[in-house]
Structures are given as C-alpha cells and as structure tokens.
Amino acid sequence: SRRTILTGAALAGAGAVASHPLWQAAAAPEPQLLKIPDLIDARKEGQSLALKVQTGTTAFFPGRDSRTFGYNGNYLGPVIRVHRGDDVEIAVTNALSEATTVHWHGLLIPGEMDGGPHQLIRPGTTWRPVVSVRQPAATLFYHSHVHDRTAEQVYSGLTGVLIVTEDSEKALGLPSEYGVDDLPLVLQDRQFEDGRLVVPQGMMSLMMGRRGDTLLVNGTPNPVARVPRRLARLRFVNGSNARIFNLAFSDDRAFHWIASEGGLLERPVELRSLTLAPGERAEILADFSDGRPVALETGADLNMPMMMGMQRRLRSFFSDLLGRSREHILRFEPQGGASGTKAAVPERLAEHERVDAAQAVRRRRFVLNMGMGGMMGGRGGMMGGDRGSGMAMHGINSRAFDMKRIDEQVRLGDIEIWEASGEMMAHPLHIHGVHFEVLSRDGGKPTVRDQGLRDTVLVKEPVELLARFTQAATKAPFMYHCHILEHEDNGMMGQFTVG
Ligand code: C2O
Ligand code: CU
Ligand code: CU
C-alpha cells in the first residue's frame, strides 16, 4: 500500500500534529509599517527598463542583518508595470557571483524570452529580452528559474511583481492609487534564527518544501497597512517556496475575488476565504469603509494533514480543526473620514473568449511523482523505489527533469486537454507560455476557486486543463512543473516545445 514514512506521526493523533514544529507560529514580532515596493512604469521609462540582480543586507528585524538577494535592492524587487500593446525591453544584469535567470511568470511570450532555465545569465553579464505585451490586465510576477537553484534564490529574495494594465481596465473604476488603495502583497513564510534569515536544509525541506515560522508581506514581518476608508484592490502573490495559504479576514467579512492568474474574472465572486498556493495570484476588493481595523489571517496549510498520509475524510476533519487556528498575516488600519460616495464593486469585469473543448486535438496525462529516488519509491512502495536514478527525489510521469530531454511537443495554435494528478500531497502545477481553464476536478465540476484563466493550479485528484497554445517555443522550450520550488529543483518538471 502507499504508506509514507510519516504515517506514524499522523497516527499519533491530533496532539502530535498540533505540537509538530511546523505548526508552531513564532512569537509575534513588533508591528512594522508594510513596505511598498517601488513602482517602475514602463511607459514612463520609455519602454526600456533595467533590473540588477544583486546581493544585499536586509534587517527584517531592527538591528538584525541578513544576507539576501534582490532586484535593484536588497530583498524582492520593484513592481514593474507594463501596458497591453507595448513592447518593453528589459536589461537584466547579474551582479551575483552565481548564475541566475529571470522568468516572467504568466507573460504570454515566446520561449526564448521566457526566462526559464535555458536563458542562463552568467555572473557579470546582461540579458536583454524584449517582451511584447499582448494579453489582458493581470497580476503576474517574475522570479529566478535557474535549475537546481531556483528554490534557494527565490527564498533569498529573487521575486518581484509584474502588473499588466490596459485602457479597458481603467474604465471599470477599480481602486488604482498604487500603494494607497491598490496594493501588491507578496506573501511568504521564512525561517529566522535570532532575527536572521536562515535557509532550512534537510530531508523535510526536500519532501515538503522549505517552510518557515514567520510570515512576511513584501518582506515585512507583522506588517500594518494604513488604508483609506474605502474599497481597496489587494493583489496577492504567493511567493512562498511551499506554503499554501487559506486567506480570510479576522472578522470573517466577505470580500470580492476579481482576478485569477490570467487576469480579471468575468464577474466578481463573493467569498470569505481564498486558498492561494505557491505561484498563484489572486486579486480581491476589500471594503474598509466601516473604518474598523481588521487582520488578514491564514488557516493551516492543507498539505500538512495531507502529507501525513491521511485519507480524504480524515484530512478534511484535520483541515477543519486546523482551519480554526489561524495565523496572523497583516493588519489593516483604515485612516481618515468615510469617503462620501461608496465605490461600487463592478458587476461585470471582463469578457472571456471561450476555448471549445470539443476542438481539442490531444489529451496528455501527467502524474506528479514524489519520492522517486529510492528513498520512498512512490508507487513501488516504501523504500527501494523502482523509478528514477537515485539522483532526483521527484518527477513527472516517472521521469526526473532533464534539460537535454524534450518531454512533449505541441503544435502552435492547437487546443489540448492536459490531465494532471499529484502523488501524496497537493501540488501547484504551473505551465509556462499558456493560460488554461480548469475543465473538471476529481471527475466532477471544477470548484468556485478553479474559475478564470489560470497558469498555476493546485493538483491532487485528477484535473483536466483546457488550453490553446498560442506562443511559440522552438528556440527554447517551455517548462511545466510543480511550484513547490524544492519539488521543481529536485525533478518535478518537464519541458515542451510549441511549433
Ligand atoms: Cu513561476 Cu516556471 O515558474
Ligand atoms: Cu512560469
Ligand atoms: Cu509538488
């Protein structure tokens, strides 16, 4: 049977789970004002931007310096805003002492501009992609994607937000004052010792992905955001290596989910909680017009009980239990008087062009495998797995990632259905160069959270994804992988051409 070495811990019951170090939150640090990254608007820069990948020193906590990486700064990067229809040149200079790449996650551009593992930027050199922005308004992000080192480089700070905007979006009258009522919020968990950032190592990190007991928003621990007493647009980016958030407000107020990874939904969806896996983005409208301070919180990561080998019913029981013990992420403090006119949530946001599933010319199947390297042996049972070389721990369809192997070939313009499932835990599957729609989940209808255009989606039981492949990848392939970055670095990735 498919038991894992962690099953024992699960059997020890709720007490053991609740007291596991991964569940324990650090003592709340002093509140700090939420950092807002600099905004670089490509139009104001004459469509030519410069990004420097550099090392830095960051005091997450006063008087405690950590060595970090950043873009044009010490940790994380500026928010880059590009406009639909424009061509933007970005000069990326690598000032690190190791190679890196910069991947534009969610941008629909050809393979050689994508910034995946094949567009290596060696120390001291500059890479100059030109990105043609031909897609709807959306919250995207950029991050390191150098094979084997993605997890550590991102953990150290190599992530930034990329915003696509367009004129039709302005007509909606959404909150649009950057840093005031339109906020980028990069959510991350990180591990600190004596106030200094440490990079967790070891088997647990390899299996579960690196996790930490401290939650950061834009690199700020225990942040406070002063917001006007009105509607605000919050752009969430899950920039964690492995942590799945389940976001809710401390008073359980409703909010409107307005955009998925690919951009605006057709209509706002009223929710009280929202799951956000690594690599996923979501935009919401939150109403602060009552002037009351409120905290953004997260329930427990749904992968924690899942990883412990629990059956589905037991899993949801534990999720409920742990969902009630929430962790604090960010406090909002509404400022000033109530604004006279209450900004309205638009009824319609966007019109999506439908891709017809009946036109799909191919179906491909993907199983995201864990523990292939002989240690746990996935399907083969515990210990001595029959798959893999012993080098990589993880894989897709029983093969670990190989830069020299093209796994799939897609014809440009084709519509396909990709079916994916994940072993042992929920994996955020990300596909480069395409936006897809979730057709089904676990043999049934997709969930409320599955709607909209996506580039990353949480996979456990089988999902069917429908996509039209519109971007060429002939000079360099696109990647598909788990966005738990330690899974990606350790084999859970494949590559495909489009031509
Ligand atoms: Cu955000 Cu291939 O990654
Ligand atoms: Cu990507
Ligand atoms: Cu994974």
At residue 20, the pLDDT reads 42
| Residue 445 to residue 42: CA distance in whole angstroms | 40
Ligand 3 centre to CA of 366 (Å) is: 13
Q: How far is the first Cα of the chain from the last one, in angstroms, to the nearest whole number? A: 42
| Residue 112 to residue 131: CA distance in whole angstroms | 10
How many residues are listed for the chain in this entry?
Answer: 499
The fourth-level CATH superfamily of domain 175-335 is: Cupredoxins -  blue copper proteins (2.60.40.420)
What six digits make up the tokens of 116? 């995946």
Partnered with residue 236 across adjacent β-strands are 185, 282
Name the residue with the closest Cα to ligand 1, atom 1.
105
CATH code for the structural domain at 357-498: 2.60.40.420
Residue 45, Cβ neighbours under 10 Å: how many? Answer: 15
Q: Are 119 and 112 in contact (CB under 8 A)?
A: yes
User: Helix, strand, or coil here: 153?
Assistant: helix
What's the CA angle centered on 298, arms 292 and 300, to 5 degrees?
Answer: 150
Name the residue with the closest Cα to ligand 1, atom 3.
105
Q: What is the mean pLDDT of residues 206-210?
A: 93
The fourth-level CATH superfamily of domain 32-170 is: Cupredoxins -  blue copper proteins (2.60.40.420)
Closest atom of ligand 1 to 456 CA is: 1
Q: Which of 384, 392, 456, 459 has the alpha carbon at shortest distance from 425?
A: 459
Cα dihedral 422, 425, 431, 437 in deg (nearest 10): 80
Ligand 2 centre to CA of 392 (Å) is: 21
- Does pLDDT of 310 surpass 90? no
Q: What are phi and psi of 425, to 5 degrees?
A: -150, 175
Strands 130-132 and 87-94: antiparallel
Residues 354-404 have pLDDT tens digits of 999 999 999 999 999 998 764 444 443 333 334 444 457 999 999 999 999
Residues 231-261 have pLDDT tens digits of 999 999 999 999 999 999 999 999 999 999 9
Which bound ligand lies closest to the C-alpha atom of 488?
3
Ligand 2 centre to CA of 158 (Å) is: 14
| Residue 184 to residue 202: CA distance in whole angstroms | 32
Residue 398, Cβ neighbours under 10 Å: how many? Answer: 15
Q: Report which of residues 375 and 318 the model is more confident about.
A: 318
Among positive and negative, which fits the CA dihedral 367, 368, 373, 378? negative
Q: What is the mean pLDDT of residues 217-230?
A: 97
What is the identity of the amino acid at 109?
A: I
| Residue 16 to residue 114: CA distance in whole angstroms | 44
Global pTM value: 0.91
ipTM: 0.99
- Does pLDDT of 347 surpass 70? yes
Q: Are 285 and 174 in contact (CB under 8 A)?
A: yes
Q: What are phi and psi of 317, to 5 degrees?
A: -60, -45
What six digits make up the tokens of 136? 């709807």
Ligand 3 centre to CA of 486 (Å) is: 8
- Does pLDDT of 68 surpass 70? yes
- Does pLDDT of 203 surpass 80? yes
Partnered with residue 274 across adjacent β-strands are 247
- Ligand 1 first shell, C-beta below 6 A: 103, 105, 143, 145, 279, 430, 432, 479, 481, 483
Closest atom of ligand 1 to 488 CA is: 2
Is the fold of 175-335 the same as that of 357-498? Answer: yes
Percent of the chain exceeding pLDDT 70 equals 86
Give domain limits for the chain. Answer: 32-170, 175-335, 357-498
| Residue 499 to residue 131: CA distance in whole angstroms | 19
Residues 34-43 have pLDDT tens digits of 999 999 999 9
